[in-house]
Amino acid sequence: MTELKALVEAFLFVSGSPLSIDKLAELAEADKVVIRSVISDLMEQYNASGRGVHLQEVAGGFQFRTNPDLAPGLRRLQKERPAKISPAALETLAIIAYRQPVTRAEIEYLRGVDSGGVMKTLLERNLLRILGKKDVPGRPLLYGTSRFFLEVFGLKDLNDLPTLKEFAALDPDLAEALPLEPNDQ
């Protein structure tokens, strides 16, 4: 019984989405009646006052949720949650890092998609800086990486960026790839 209770607690913790009695019984390979009593046990334990996490019945199942009384304090975390970098942003940042100085049009040519939104996010996060304007008709802005970029990636300078040759050496399949050197003239 104690182990079953621990298992149910762990299932609910890991699942994220609500788990029904049926589902829990199936996962824990136990009888529904037993699961039901384990659940009410856990609810009693968690829903006592002064707990940060409650076990709540929701959408036909059970789920751990934060105590609603703590909402004001918890919002501070939400704001600070580290924004995750999307694959699109990573790709764009990579192009800028290796190809700088580079214009938006050049980035979009390489990526094959509009990159304005992603570039705006990267600028807002201080990872890019504007290096000037390109001396061609339309005088498009030239982008490069910022000093903060070096800090985030722990690089001394742009020459510290690994070259493609170094990665190609790890994997013979990559050996035929394009030569890639940080472009820092």
Partner 1 sequence: MSVDIKLEKFSGPLDLLLHLIKSQEMDIYDIRIGEITEQYLAIIDRMKQLDLDVAGEFLLMAAQLIHIKSRMLLPVSEEVSDEEGEDPRAELIKRLLEYQRYKQAGSMFDQMPQLDRDIFLPHDSNSEVFAGTMTHNVDMTISVYQLANAFHMLMNSVKTEVFHEVVRESLSVADYIEKISRRVTEHTRVAFREFFADHCNRAELVVTFLAMLELIRMQAIRIEQVASFSDIWLSRTASTEHIQRLHIDEEVLDYD
> Interacting stretch for a copy of itself, rule CB under 8 A, among 2-10, 55-63, 93-101, 177-185?
2-10
How many whole angstroms separate alpha carbon 133 and alpha carbon 143?
Answer: 9
How many whole angstroms separate alpha carbon 67 and alpha carbon 79?
Answer: 18
Question: Which helix or strand (DSSP H or E) is residue 106 part of?
Answer: helix 104-111
> Interacting stretch for partner 1, rule CB under 8 A, among 1-9, 33-41, 42-50, 86-94?
86-94
CB of 35 to partner 1, least distance (A): 14
Instruction: Using CB under 8 A, pick the residue from 88, 104, 106, 140 that binds partner 1.
Output: 88
Q: Does 104 bind partner 1 (CB under 8 A)?
A: no
Q: SS3 string of 114-176?
A: CCHHHHHHHHHCCCEEEEEECCCCCCCEEEEECHHHHHHHCCCCHHHCCCHHHHHHHCHHHHH
SS3 content of the chain, % helix, strand, coil (to 5): 55, 15, 30
Q: Which two tokens stand for residue 68?
A: 């609603």
3-class secondary structure, 113 = coil
Residues that bind partner 1 in the complex, under the rule CB under 8 A: 10, 13-17, 19-20, 23, 61, 63-66, 68, 71, 74, 77-78, 80, 82-88, 90-95, 97-98, 109-114, 123-126, 128-130, 137-138, 146-148, 151-155, 161-162, 164, 167, 170-171, 173-174, 177-178, 180
Interface residues with a copy of itself (CB under 8 A)?
2-3, 5-15, 27-28, 50-53, 64, 66-67, 69-70, 73-74, 76-78, 80-81, 104, 116-117, 119-120, 123, 130-133, 140-141, 154-156, 160, 162, 166-167, 169-172
